[in-house]
Amino acid sequence: MQQSVVPELAHTHTRPIHWLATATALAGVVALSSVVQPGSATAAQPGAAAKAAPAAIAPPDPAAVTFPIDCGPAEAVVRKKASGDLDGDGSPETVAVVHCDAGSGTPPDGVYVLTGGGAGKAPRVVATLVAPKDRLTVTDFAVRDGAVTATLLGYSSADVPSCCPDVKEGAKWQWRNGAFIRSTPSGAQSV
């Protein structure tokens, strides 16, 4: 009978140092993988020509609009503005809060919705949400989720001085069935 002559290999016996070396190498690979990340995936099919993303449509600029507000010798001033797609057509509208630059006092605000006129056309006013003749001041104004929201400060009667509005109410407008419909989130409150 012949004995096999295979020398014992030193590396076939595990020792604590081997486990420590393996754990250290594994920790290094994990740490390196958290630093080195692959590029982001795309939905393009291999070999398909990449399509350019559509250019973002700029919202209408209130500076290019003449507002339907009578300021006499004073100028109309855009106090606040916000943009968003209000009618769901994929193009943004701009809502502008405008008043006359009276120099002193609290002139009433008008709230107007602007739309782009199309290719090469100037923006135009398509809706009046608050008319200056209503003697309201707009605060907490925003355009979000296809709706316009505002807090309106007004007067309980014509006897209340313009300096001191005494009625506060919230308002929300949304585009429905071809028009802006106003809802009041909370009832009118005295200030």
8-state DSSP, 66? -
Backbone angles phi, psi at 21, to 5 degrees: -65, -40
- The residues pairing with 189 across neighbouring beta strands, listed in sequence order, are 168
Q: Which pLDDT value is given to residue 53? A: 46
Asked whether 143 and 80 are in contact (CB, 8 A), the reply is no
Q: Which pLDDT value is given to residue 50? A: 44
The pair of structure tokens assigned to 10 is 């030193």
Asked whether 97 and 80 are in contact (CB, 8 A), the reply is yes
Mark residue 93 as left, alpha or beta (left: phi above 0; alpha: psi -120 to 50; beta: remaining).
Answer: beta
Q: Which pLDDT value is given to residue 22? A: 74
Q: Which pLDDT value is given to residue 93? A: 94
The pLDDT profile of the chain, 191 residues, written as one tens digit per residue, is 555 554 555 555 667 776 677 778 777 666 666 666 555 544 444 544 444 445 578 899 999 999 999 988 889 999 999 999 999 888 999 999 999 997 777 788 999 999 986 667 789 999 999 999 999 999 999 999 999 999 999 999 989 887 888 999 999 999 999 999 998 765 444 45
The pair of structure tokens assigned to 111 is 């709230």
> How far is the C-alpha of 61 from the C-alpha of 112, rounded, in Å?
12
The pTM score is 0.67
Q: Which pLDDT value is given to residue 38? A: 57
Alpha-carbon distance values, 104 to 12, 147, 157, 184 (Å): 93, 32, 22, 30
Q: Residue holding tokens 């994929």?
A: 90
Q: Which pLDDT value is given to residue 72? A: 87
Q: Which pLDDT value is given to residue 48? A: 45
Domain-by-domain residue ranges, the chain? 62-190
Q: Which pLDDT value is given to residue 44? A: 47
